[in-house]
Structure 1
Amino acid sequence: MARFTFKLPDIGEGISEAEIVAWHVKVGDRIEEDQQIADMMTDKATVEMESPVSGIVVELAGEVGESVSIGAALVVIETAGDFSASEAPALEPLTDEVKVAPLSEDQVEVAKQYEAENPGVGAPSSPAPASFTASPAEAGAQSRAFGNDAQPSSTSTFATGPRPSPGKEEDHAAARVLASPAVRARAADLGIDLAQVKTESDRVRHSDLDAFLRYGQGQGYHAPHASHARPDEAIKVIGMRRRIAENMAASKRAIPHFTYVEEIDVTALEAMRGDLNANRGQRPKLTLLPLLIAAICKTVPAFPMINARYDDEAGVVTRHGAVHLGMATQTDAGLTVPVIRDAQDRNVWQLATEILRLAEAARANKLKPDEMGGGTLTVTSLGPLGGIATTPVINRPEVAIIGPNKIVERPIFVGDEIVRAKLMNLSISCDHRVVDGWDAASFVQALKRYLETPVLLFAD
């Protein structure tokens, strides 16, 4: 028997530590190689940590919400292999206040049973040393809050889950897919055919299952429906949710917002969008968003104060020539703002393609760090939820954010005639320290001209 210490690797961007936002294992769990063990968050992204070995978890490096330094021990795993002392160094306490996390009686019984059935592998027979705190009870709730619904069983610590029944053609196809035993067990529990799961690598991982479920493709998976009042649940504000809270509070605290709303007749724009989609060929279907972004890019050169960033500590406003447009995107982990680089250089089809790519990457938690920062102006849309008007919060240090609202059909007067029209309210929130109300209103009126006469979007 030997102990393997998995140290938090350098995950780039020059960071010195990462925050634990979810544990997917607990002390006493039997894990397999490549099984997901934790989610670690840096300032820019969440990274999934996977075990490099199989064995039994004997130590965890802290509770959800705590930070771990790069190179420090994250998990200690008892294995059947032989690792040298240099690979499994003694661990120093992380804090002065430590907690011992002994195995429960059920875990000890299961461990003994597993050891009897698997001689030579073994299981932990002593509680975790006091140098590390065990995973907290709320880790399961926190993982669910961040989109990880499947957790290891608390009653069968070493169970690998049911396997698909033999003899079915789809089971043979799934068996040919490369995946760790833990991934196969989870897929079986959820009723997912691994052969139907798309992956960018040569094997299916937990993140691929998350994306598969998130997009509603799991035919055999049905979330339970509550029929009774649920108990109160205390959710620790950590990770992405904490960063959103801090950023929003800082934005409202530091920026004097004002919001301007204008009604826009998008009848012609919607008609043109329908014609473009009818003749799009293999190109992605156009929504309103790429047309709105194209109109914004046409408008901002005359209003450089809108496409800007304000460093209030240095007292400097930078008016940007290029439009790096942030696109507020809702994910299971919270609001994320991927950035479309050089939006002014893309046509509506290229914008539609990039919007789709970034949205899918955001929801699958696969955005790269350089796709999440450096925006100069943001658009936020509630999509089908619509809304009559919004007062969006500025994405600091930007100075403006634009929010289209739902499109409604209403009768309007055109001369002496009453006609049917498609109308949409457009909101813009601005930083009143650097953008005057007149400038914001003038910008929206110029933007309105492009949206109500959409042929101008394709004119030089």
Structure 2
Amino acid sequence: MARYSFRLPDIGEGIAEAEIVAWHVKVGERVEEDAQLADMMTDKATVEMESPVSGVVVELAGEVGDLIPIGSTLAVIETDDETLEAPAKEAAEDAIVAETPGAEQTPMAETVAPSQSVDPEPVKKPSLPSTAERETGLSTGSGQKGKEKPVLASPAVRARAKDLGIDLSQVQSDGDRIRHADLDAFLRYSAGQGYRAPGASRARADEPVKVIGMRRKIAENMAAAKRAIPHFTYVEEMDVTALEAMRADLNANRGDRPKLTMLPFLIVAICRTIPDFPMINARYDDEAGVVTRHGAVHLGMATQTDAGLMVPVIRDAQDKNVWQLASEIARLAEAARSGKAKVEELTGGTLTITSLGPLGGIATTPVINRPEVAIIGPNKIVERPVFDGDDIRRAKLMNLSISCDHRVVDGWDAASYVQALKKLIETPVLLFAD
């Protein structure tokens, strides 16, 4: 029987290794030609690995989360057409376990049969004597009756006990009345007896979660960006009342065109102001010491997916109108969320915009998408009264944040750029003027 070693192919773009994010086969299983073996993730995208032959899997390179160098063996497949017999399959699995570092086998002598298990005796909760029992010496469960003395406590203590769901007659005190310290002692003692205040939530068991796949790439990229880039963030408030009115009018007459959000208008404003501030639309190669100021705006769009944050890129955003941008935003967001975004749609950005929509908050300090030098973050729109001369009117206001690489962009330049954006956003007719 021949064995075929399937080696991880060169995925391109100088990738040296890839991470296993999912196995679609197990040792001992039969796999058909062109069937999926595994999903491998690089710095750019997730790639599906398919089996070049039919046969039985006898070896797999590692576990989910392991990094595999390009050219190394990913899987070994028996190319015989017949599947392994059950004993042979078990032997193959045992061989893999034996070769796995850290794998241990449990001695049979230490195995406890289900019939040998012993149910522990139930633990009885100790009952706390009441104040009446302590002072009269009578037990309410003894069948005797005695005159119980009233429980003495201040209004504040009574209110706290009520909030905690504590029966004051169950609380012991060394003095003539129950104090806050007595409540604290009761809580400490009864915490181990199953007592739980009404409305309190229960603690959950700790859950270790392995950081793999997209989550690990995000962690690595964010850590590298914060280590290498001296960030600063500038925030400005903008009146978007007129822009929101224009957006509503365009949506009311859009026909079969996509519905417009705030984002396409912001992108148009960004692209119109970039020519006067080329240092914003740039990439910095800190190893070569070269800043490339790009003529075209390839705008990254931070998108939340089930796998984590992805940044698909709108190519040549400066050449698109608001309707074309709305269509491209929807297309790229869907491709990212469904995992169908291509490598070229996730690379090559020159500037990034990130928005949390209605969750935008008052202000954000977004992290730069390295090697870019700036990232723009619009925040949520709120309605507030504002002064308009001597009059007061209702206005829709939005804060806009920009984080910049201080090695390339000075604070004055960033502030000037945002002020240019503000002029267009607050006078939206200029967005459509030649």
* Partner of residue 374 from structure 1, selected from 330, 348, 352: 348
* Partner of residue 421 from structure 1, selected from 395, 398, 407: 395
Deviates more, 1:367-376 or 1:74-83: 74-83
Q: After superposition, give the CA deviation of every residue in 1:74-128 in whole Å (9 maximum; x if it has no partner).
A: 2334576179xxxxxxxxxxxxxxxxxxxxxxxxxxx98xx7xxxxxx9713133
User: Does residue 1:247 correspond to 2:221, yes or no?
Assistant: yes
Cα 1:229–1:52 change in 2 (3 A) is farther
Judge conservation of contact 2:352–2:374 (CA < 8 Å) in 1.
yes
Return the offset for 1:9.
Answer: 3.8
Q: After superposition, give the CA deviation of every residue in 1:376-430 in whole Å (9 maximum; x if it has no partner).
A: 1111111231211000111122111100000111122222222221111100111
Q: Distance in 1 between matches of 2:354 and 2:98?
A: 43
* Partner of residue 391 from structure 1, selected from 365, 369, 377: 365
Aligned-pair identity in percent equals 79
Return the offset for 1:68.
Answer: 2.7
Return the offset for 1:353.
Answer: 1.3
* Partner of residue 361 from structure 1, selected from 320, 326, 335: 335
Return the offset for 1:65.
Answer: 2.8
* TM-score for the superposition, normalised by structure 1: 0.66
- For 2:208, the equivalent position in structure 1 comes to 234
Cα 1:361–1:77 change in 2 (3 A) is same
Which letter maps to 1:81? Answer: D
Q: Distance in 1 between matches of 2:28 and 2:425?
A: 61
The secondary structure found in structure 2 opposite 1:317 is: strand
Return the offset for 1:44.
Answer: 0.9
- For 1:41, the equivalent position in structure 2 comes to 41
Which letter maps to 1:48? Answer: E
Cα 1:357–1:459 change in 2 (3 A) is same
User: Does residue 1:257 correspond to 2:231, yes or no?
Assistant: yes
The secondary structure found in structure 2 opposite 1:304 is: coil
Cα 1:294–1:382 change in 2 (3 A) is same
Judge conservation of contact 1:60–1:135 (CA < 8 Å) in 2.
no
Cα 1:277–1:135 change in 2 (3 A) is farther
Judge conservation of contact 1:26–1:135 (CA < 8 Å) in 2.
no
- For 1:320, the equivalent position in structure 2 comes to 294
Judge conservation of contact 1:60–1:133 (CA < 8 Å) in 2.
no
* Partner of residue 329 from structure 1, selected from 303, 320, 325: 303
- For 1:27, the equivalent position in structure 2 comes to 27
- For 2:374, the equivalent position in structure 1 comes to 400
User: Does residue 1:58 correspond to 2:64, yes or no?
Assistant: no
Judge conservation of contact 1:309–1:319 (CA < 8 Å) in 2.
yes
Q: Distance in 1 between matches of 2:332 and 2:285?
A: 27
Return the offset for 1:300.
Answer: 1.1
Which letter maps to 1:249? Answer: A
- For 1:431, the equivalent position in structure 2 comes to 405
Judge conservation of contact 1:399–1:430 (CA < 8 Å) in 2.
yes
Which letter maps to 2:430? Answer: L
Q: Distance in 2 between matches of 1:73 and 1:323?
A: 41
Give the RMSD, CA atoms, in angstroms.
3.0
Q: After superposition, give the CA deviation of every residue in 1:102-160 in whole Å (9 maximum; x if it has no partner).
A: xxxxxxxxx98xx7xxxxxx9713133359966999xxxxxxxxxxxxxxxxxxxxxxx
Judge conservation of contact 1:60–1:134 (CA < 8 Å) in 2.
no
Q: Distance in 2 between matches of 1:132 and 1:239?
A: 27
Cα 1:35–1:230 change in 2 (3 A) is farther
Q: Distance in 2 between matches of 1:33 and 1:416?
A: 78
* Partner of residue 284 from structure 1, selected from 258, 265, 272: 258
Return the offset for 1:230.
Answer: 4.9
* Partner of residue 126 from structure 1, selected from 91, 116, 119: 91
- For 1:164, the equivalent position in structure 2 comes to none
Q: Distance in 2 between matches of 1:328 and 1:124?
A: 46
The secondary structure found in structure 2 opposite 1:306 is: coil
- For 1:185, the equivalent position in structure 2 comes to none
Return the offset for 1:62.
Answer: 1.2
Which letter maps to 1:395? Answer: N
Judge conservation of contact 1:62–1:132 (CA < 8 Å) in 2.
no
Which letter maps to 1:384? Answer: P
Return the offset for 1:56.
Answer: 5.0
Judge conservation of contact 1:59–1:134 (CA < 8 Å) in 2.
no
Q: Distance in 2 between matches of 1:258 and 1:17?
A: 33
Greater C-alpha Rg: 2
Judge conservation of contact 2:354–2:375 (CA < 8 Å) in 1.
yes
State the number of aligned residues. Answer: 336
Judge conservation of contact 1:61–1:133 (CA < 8 Å) in 2.
no
Judge conservation of contact 1:61–1:134 (CA < 8 Å) in 2.
no
Judge conservation of contact 1:18–1:41 (CA < 8 Å) in 2.
yes
Q: After superposition, give the CA deviation of every residue in 1:358-388 in whole Å (9 maximum; x if it has no partner).
A: 1111112222222222221111111231211
Judge conservation of contact 1:44–1:369 (CA < 8 Å) in 2.
yes
Unaligned runs of 5+ in 2: 104-200
Cα 1:132–1:453 change in 2 (3 A) is farther
Judge conservation of contact 2:240–2:425 (CA < 8 Å) in 1.
yes
Q: Distance in 1 between matches of 2:99 and 2:39?
A: 17
